Amino acid sequence: MPTRYAYFQGCAARQSCPELNQATLLVAKHLGWELTTLENAACTGARDLIEAQPEMAIVLNARTLSLAESQGLDRLMTVCATCTITLRQVNKLLKEDRPTLDMANKQLASIGLRYNGTVDVRHFLWLLIADYGLDRLKEHVKRPLTDLSVAPYYGCHILRPSDVLGFDDPDNPRSLHDLIVALGGRPADFSSQADCCGFHMMTIDENRAARHAGGLLVDAQQQGADVMVTACPLCHISMDSWQPKSERVMKRTIGMPVIHVPQLVGLALGYSPRELGLERHIVRPLEIIQKYSI
Amino acid sequence: MPANTFNVFIQRYDPDRDTVPHFVAYKVPRQDGMVVADVLQYLYETETPDLGFLWECRTRRCGTCAVRVGDRPVLTCSEPVCDDMRLLPLEGIPVVRDLIVDRQELEERLAPWANNGAGPLQEARVLLDSEEIAQYRSLSECIDCFICDSVCPALHENAKGGTQFSGPRRLIRLEAQAQRRAEPLPWLRYAALGNPSLCTRCFACTEACPRELRPAEAIGSLTKKLFERHELDAHKTSHINSFVRSILRGAWLDEFRLLVDIYGAVRVAKFVPQALRMLRRGKLPRPHFGQAEQGQNIQTMLRGLEKNRSRDPR
Q: What is the reported pLDDT for B120?
A: 43
The reply to whether B51 falls in a domain is yes
* CATH code of the domain containing B213: 1.10.1060.10
Instruction: Give contacts of A 25-44 with B, CB under 8 A.
Output: 39-43
Closest residue of B to A284, CA-based? Answer: B281
* CATH code of the domain containing B37: 3.10.20.30
pLDDT digits (tens, 9 = 90+) for B26-74: 999 999 999 999 999 999 999 999 999 999 999 998 999 999 999 999 9
**Does B310 have pLDDT greater than 70?**
no
- Single-letter amino acid code for the residue at B207: E
Sheet holding A120-123, edge to edge: A34-37, A4-8, A75-78, A120-123
**Does B138 have pLDDT greater than 90?**
no
Q: What is the reported pLDDT for B159?
A: 84
How many Å apart are CA A162 and CA A99, to the nearest integer?
A: 24
B194 and B280 in a single domain? The answer is no
Q: What is the reported pLDDT for A190?
A: 96
How many Å apart are CA A292 and CA A257, to the nearest integer?
A: 15
How many Å apart are CA B168 and CA B171, to the nearest integer?
A: 5
* Chain centroid to CA B86: 25
CB distance from B289 to chain A under 8 Å? yes
How many Å apart are CA B197 and CA B190, to the nearest integer?
A: 14
How many Å apart are CA A210 and CA B81, to the nearest integer?
A: 39
CB distance from A75 to chain B under 8 Å? no
How many Å apart are CA B176 and CA B125, to the nearest integer?
A: 12
Q: Model confidence at B126, in pLDDT bands (50, 70, 90)?
A: low
Rounded mean pLDDT of B220-234? 95
Q: What is the reported pLDDT for B109?
A: 56
Domain endpoint, select from B192, B212, B228:
B228
CB distance from B72 to chain A under 8 Å? yes
B91 and B22 in a single domain? The answer is yes
Number of domains chain B is built from: 3
Q: Which fold has domain A4-124?
A: Glutathione S-transferase Yfyf (Class Pi); Chain A, domain 2 (1.20.1050)
How many Å apart are CA A209 and CA A238, to the nearest integer?
A: 8
Chain B CB contacts of A110 under 8 Å are: 300-301, 303-304
DSSP string, chain A: ---EEEEE-TTGGGTT-HHHHHHHHHHHHHTT-EEEE-TT-----HHHHHHH-HHHHHHHHHHHHHHHHTTT--EEEES-HHHHHHHHHHHHHHHH-HHHHHHHHHHHHTTT----S--EEEEHHHIIIIII-HHHHHHH-SS--TT-EEEEE--STTTSSTTTS-SS-TTS--HHHHHHHHTT-EE---TTTTS---GGGTTT-HHHHHHHHHHHHHHHHHTT-SEEEES-HHHHIIIIITHHHHHHHHTS-----EEEHHHHHHHHHT--TTTTTGGGSSS--HHHHHHH--
Contact at 8 Å (CB) between B173 and B103? no
Are A208 and B274 an interchain contact pair (Cβ–Cβ within 8 Å)? no
Q: Model confidence at A82, in pLDDT bands (50, 70, 90)?
A: very high
CB distance from B229 to chain A under 8 Å? no
What is the complex's ipTM, to 2 decimals?
Answer: 0.94
B201 and B294 in a single domain? The answer is no
B221 and B243 in a single domain? The answer is no
The reply to whether B255 falls in a domain is yes
Domain map (residue ranges) of chain A: 4-124, 134-292
Percent of chain A with pLDDT over 70: 99
Q: Provide the mean pLDDT of chain B.
A: 88
Closest residue of A to B286, CA-based? Answer: A15
Give the lowest-confidence range in A171-180, A215-224, B138-147, B178-187.
B178-187
How many Å apart are CA A223 and CA A200, to the nearest integer?
A: 26
How many Å apart are CA B14 and CA A35, to the nearest integer?
A: 59
Give the lowest-confidence range in A35-49, B137-151, B204-218.
B137-151
How many Å apart are CA A147 and CA A139, to the nearest integer?
A: 19
What is the domain range of residue B206? 127-228
**Does A58 have pLDDT greater than 80?**
yes
Q: What is the reported pLDDT for A1?
A: 53
How many Å apart are CA B79 and CA A85, to the nearest integer?
A: 29
B97 and B188 in a single domain? The answer is no
Q: Model confidence at B163, in pLDDT bands (50, 70, 90)?
A: confident
Instruction: Give contacts of A 271-290 with B, CB under 8 A.
Output: 279-282
Rounded mean pLDDT of B180-208? 90
Are A195 and B153 an interchain contact pair (Cβ–Cβ within 8 Å)? yes
Domain endpoint, select from B228, B261, B283:
B228
B221 and B242 in a single domain? The answer is no
Task: End-to-end CA distance of chain A: give it in Å, rounded.
Answer: 36
Q: Which fold has domain A134-292?
A: Rossmann fold (3.40.50)
Q: What is the reported pLDDT for B314?
A: 39
Q: Is the dihedral of CA B297, B299, B302, B306 positive or negative?
A: negative
Rounded mean pLDDT of A113-125? 98
Cα–Cα distances in Å, from B168 out to B149, B165, B216?
A: 6, 9, 7
* Chain centroid to CA B178: 17
Q: What is the reported pLDDT for B161?
A: 82
The reply to whether B164 falls in a domain is yes
CB distance from B71 to chain A under 8 Å? yes
The reply to whether B121 falls in a domain is no
CB distance from A106 to chain B under 8 Å? yes
How many Å apart are CA A97 and CA A91, to the nearest integer?
A: 10
Domain endpoint, select from B228, B247, B281:
B228
> Minimal Cα–Cα distance from B307 to chain A, Å?
11
How many Å apart are CA A161 and CA B216, to the nearest integer?
A: 10
